[in-house]
Structure formats: C-alpha cells, structure tokens
Structure 1
Amino acid sequence: MSALAAFATARCEQAWDVLGTVLDPEVPALSVRDLGIVRDVIDHGEALEIVLTPTYSGCPATEVIEHDVLAAIAKADLGPAHVTLRRAPAWTTDWISADGRRKLSEYGIAPPGPAAPDGAVPIRFFGRKADAIACPRCGSLHTERLSAFGSTACKAMYRCISCREPFEHFKPL
C-alpha cells in the first residue's frame, strides 16, 4: 500500500471514530453511526465525503445532523468535508448497530425487532392491537400501546402494566 493510500485509509478510520461521537438530535443516546445513517466515508484526497441516509426523507433533523457531522470532522482537523445524502436504498431499523440497540434500551426506548427477515420488504398494516413489546425498564411483555406515534414519527408510545412506566418503542422500518 502506498503512503498516500495508507493516509487516506487512516483518515477514513479517524472519521468513522469521530462520527461515533456525533449524537442523533432526536435520540441523543445514539450516535449517527450507531443509528446506521452513516453509509460511507470516502477520501477524495482534497476532501472527505460523508454519505448519510436519513431515517426518512422528511426527517426534520437532517440539516442538524449534517451540520453536526461537518462540525465534528472539522474539530478533529480531518480537513475539508462535505455531506452527500443517499436516499436509496431507504434507511431501515435493521441498520441500527447491536451497540445502538443496547443503548436504546438503556435509554428507556424499546429497540425495534427485525424489519425485514431474510431481506424481504414487508408491508405492515397496524390495527388497534399491537404486538407485545418488552418494557425496557423491567422486561415485562405485559405492555400496551398508548399511541401509534411518540415524540417522533418513528416511535410509538407504550405503557408497561407491570411496572406502570411509560416508554417509547422505536418502530421497525
């Protein structure tokens, strides 16, 4: 490997590490890397390209995330950078890292189950009766959905009947 290629690889690895510290503005228990919205880091020599896939196309936090990503890269002195938004393939909760799922649960948000078993793309119809979701506080499956939407469109509000605590569930997408 040439010295230039080694430098580019090291710079990309440093950028990935830095992106692991940039918190999602809507779920500050997770970094944008944990959330799986950082798709790639490409070293173009003069500048780094950070490729992001928003959780959904109308996500109101996209501009804040772009700003925070670029500010973190600049603070780490990794050189100039720009963000490219890649909307296809669409983000899925399957991209949340195992560490991210653990952090969600510790934060009090029930992590999503698999969105697409074996790569299939599911069509989901939600009625009034919801699946039993384990309470992130006590682990009980004796829970009920209070609202299909929580603080953001990607979460639902639940209540644990056992410990009486409300919690959000990150819906599989």
Structure 2
Amino acid sequence: MLREDGQRPALDAIWQLLDTVPDPEVPVISVVELGIVRQLNWQQDRLVVTLTPTYSGCPATQAIADAIHMALWQAGLEQIELQEQLSPPWTTDWISPAGRDKLRAYGIAPPAGSASKRTLLGEEPEVHCPHCGSVHTSVISEFGSTACKALYRCDDCREPFDYFKCI
C-alpha cells in the first residue's frame, strides 16, 4: 500500500483495505460494513484510525483492533494510532446496506428497522427469516450465539436463525 514515491496512501485506499478486515464474530461482514471504523486521518506521517466498539462489553473489541492494526502494518504502514471513540455510541443503524445483505445471505437476520425508543418500550420488531423471507418468526431466546444477537425460529420453514438486535 505504501506508494513507491514514499508518499502516504490516499485515505480511500485505506478504507478499501479495511473493508477486507472481517468481524471476528461474523466473518462475512467487514469492520467497515459493520460501522466500527468511524474515521481515518493523517496526523503528519501517522495514520489515526478512530473506532467505536459495538458495545462496551463486546469481547471482540481487542481482536478487531488487533486485526485492523495487523492489516495496516502488513500493507506497509508503520505509524498507526488506534483511538476508541465512545460518543456517540455505536448503533446498528451504522451497518451498511451491503453489510445487511451479507448478514442475510449468511443466515443472520439483519436488524429490523432502526435503533429507536420503540425497542426500549418493548415493541417487538418484525423479523424476516433470512432463509425464506417469512415474517412469521418467533423468539426462542433473547440471546443467540453472541450477546448482540437473539435466537429466532421461522414458523414457516421451521429453520432456526440468529437475529442481529437493534442497538
């Protein structure tokens, strides 16, 4: 990635590189598609990458930071600073449309709608089955394979699936 003339690479090229770094818990989606990478800036010769974890207790936060650092280092960038930004907090609204499509194709129902107070008020989302598209789905457990997902079952095709909760 380092240019032959010794100049730093364009930020667009770095965004493209980071779009190849998979989320460790859902490897079909990149950390960029997930919305974890917030900003890239050059401060003189040092690349500053601003990250927002999906939630404060996410066990993958350090693994994500390590994977981002490694990808940049392997691309020839040596002066890298990773900064964590907690405000505003990450939201599932930041998952890109391509990321939502990849979740669905992988068998995980993407967040239904957007993060809102409706979730806090107990309104149930209309969760579409990622296998057959049916809206006839039932919650099996509020927690699925990770804390950010719930376990659902399709009442039509009978397949179980994870639902990525709106946060």
Q: Provide TM-score, normalisation by structure 1.
A: 0.87
Which residue of 120, 126, 129 maps to 1:124? 120
Q: 1:157 to 1:101 in 2, by over 3 A?
A: same
Whether contact under 8 Å (1:11, 1:43) holds in the other structure is no
SS of 1:162's equivalent?
Answer: coil
The residue type equivalent to 2:138 in the other structure is: E
Q: Give 1:105 shift.
A: 0.3
Q: Within 2, Cα distance between the matches of 1:144 and 1:87?
A: 33
1:150 equivalent among 139, 144, 150: 144
Q: Which runs of 4+ in 1 moved over 3 A?
A: 120-123
Alignment partner, residue 67 of structure 2: 68
Amino acid at match of 1:102: D
Return closer, same or farther for 1:78/1:14 CA change in 2, 3 Å cut-off: farther
State yes or no: 1:103 paired with 2:102.
yes
2:44 aligns with: 45
Residue 78 (1) aligns with residue 74 (2): no
Give the helix-richer structure, 1 or 2: 1
Bigger shift: residues 12-21 or 107-116: 107-116
What is the alpha-carbon distance in structure 2 between the residues aligned to residue 90 and residue 131 of structure 1? 21
CA contact (8 A) 1:145 1:158 kept: yes
- How many pairs does the alignment contain? 161
Give the secondary-structure state (helix, strand or coil) at the position aligned to 1:33: coil
Residue range with higher mean Cα deviation, 44-53 or 74-83: 74-83
Residue 121 of structure 1 and its aligned partner are, at CA, apart by 5.3
Given the two structures, how large is their TM-score scaled by the length of structure 2?
Answer: 0.90
CA contact (8 A) 1:11 1:78 kept: no
Would you say 1:160 and 2:154 are equivalent positions? Answer: yes
Identity over aligned pairs, percent: 48
Deviation at 1:123, TM superposition (A): 5.7
Q: 2:91 — aligned with what?
A: 92
